[in-house]
Structure 1
Amino acid sequence: MQVPETVAIIMDGNGRWAKKQGLPRTAGHKKGADQIRTIALEANRLHIKKLILYAFSTENWKRPEDEISYLCKLPGIFFSKFIKELMENNIRVTFAGELERFPKETQKVIRKAVNQTERNTGLELCIAINYGSRREIVLAIREYTRQVLEQERANDLSEEDFSSYLFVPENVDLLIRTSGEERISNFLLWQIAYAELIFTPVAWPDFDEAKLDECLRLYSERDRRFGGV
């Protein structure tokens, strides 16, 4: 089976999953966080190079304050529970987005996980947090423009050069969205230009190893021509 190098997942459906179980939305987010560990370990086993997970978008600040407060605590809960296992499995943690809007403790937890795992050489587990693709592109343009105006580089931007200014410089091979919605939601708009897209009705808390393997099987059956014949 052909395995993609870079996989991105929009982890959707935590709240709806919780509602069906008669539980508060926070319970769905907690179960969803546990699935990050499950899917990261499986992706690592399959030798996927990079897994990018959409954990918190720039639009998620519109949610109720109590839910946002819990989501800000979730990285601490997750890494205190699973950082040892990530280290044992040689998984490296990175993040994409603007951490500065989060509470200092949330920033500290995430940066500690990044520093603790930076020498690992297995799967790169990239958490997209306070991430929005339009914002990412605007920031990239601003930085490129600054460098040109300050004569740090020539005005000769290529597509490859532009990618280097983004939070996520890699092209995405496969984008999966869980829970039945069929939209991109401002996620990796530049990077998914030639990605294969799979939309599954399975909510993220129920998206297990078998579901990931099925998505990878579907991916391996597709003919990726990149505009050719």
Structure 2
Amino acid sequence: MKPQRREAGMGLVELMVATVLALLVVAGAASVYAGLKNSWQAQDDLAEMQDNERLAVLLLSQVVRLTGFNPDPLGTPSAAALPPEAMAGFGTLAAGQALVGTAGGADTLTVRFLADGNGIASDCTGSKAYPRGSLVTNRIRLDAGGNLTCKVNGNTTQPLMAGVAGFDVSYGVDTDPACAPCQPRQYMDASQISAAAAWNRVRVLRLALRFTVPGGRPPTVQWEQNVAVMNP
């Protein structure tokens, strides 16, 4: 008669080793999942930032391009259509002057034009609901919270986009006033333009925005564009 063999179960040591290995596998899977989730979230945040960036850039470009626009310059000359205006922190506009800016820290930019009445000329918030000949003054600045904002006429300041690290404006001026068809040959900041009394000679604005990237790698992205203006 053959002796019976006793079947031995898993010992305590083997059980502990198996448990540790299982925990390591679970921890590894959780780490991979967390990494993928963070990557997906970063991609979503980046895509959202890029969408906001494109919208802000589009609105800025459209508004700046309209600087000094007058749908009826013969009936209402610019000197009468653009009366003197001033606002603390944004500079002073003389009669007939379509733009002004300030420099130092984050720049400010003020541009104004007359509405066409057909819904083509929109302000910096995207609104087009203005009767023909209405004066539209757009004041753009970067606030302390990193929001690019716009104030239209006497309305409440509206945020255009968040996550902006810097806003800088340079002004392209033809250094020879008698050479009207010439291309701008010098870029100045707002203080230099004011010192030279050259606001009505500005032909191109160079807009520079620095955006904070989610996750901080790289910390900022620079966007820059030259926009020709209808400066009278």
Same fold per superposition (TM over 0.5): no
**Which is helix-richer, 1 or 2?**
1
Larger radius of gyration: 2
**Which is strand-richer, 1 or 2?**
2
Q: Which has the higher contact order (CA 8 A, sep 6+)?
A: 1
Given the two structures, how large is their TM-score scaled by the length of structure 2?
0.23
Given the two structures, how large is their TM-score scaled by the length of structure 1?
0.23
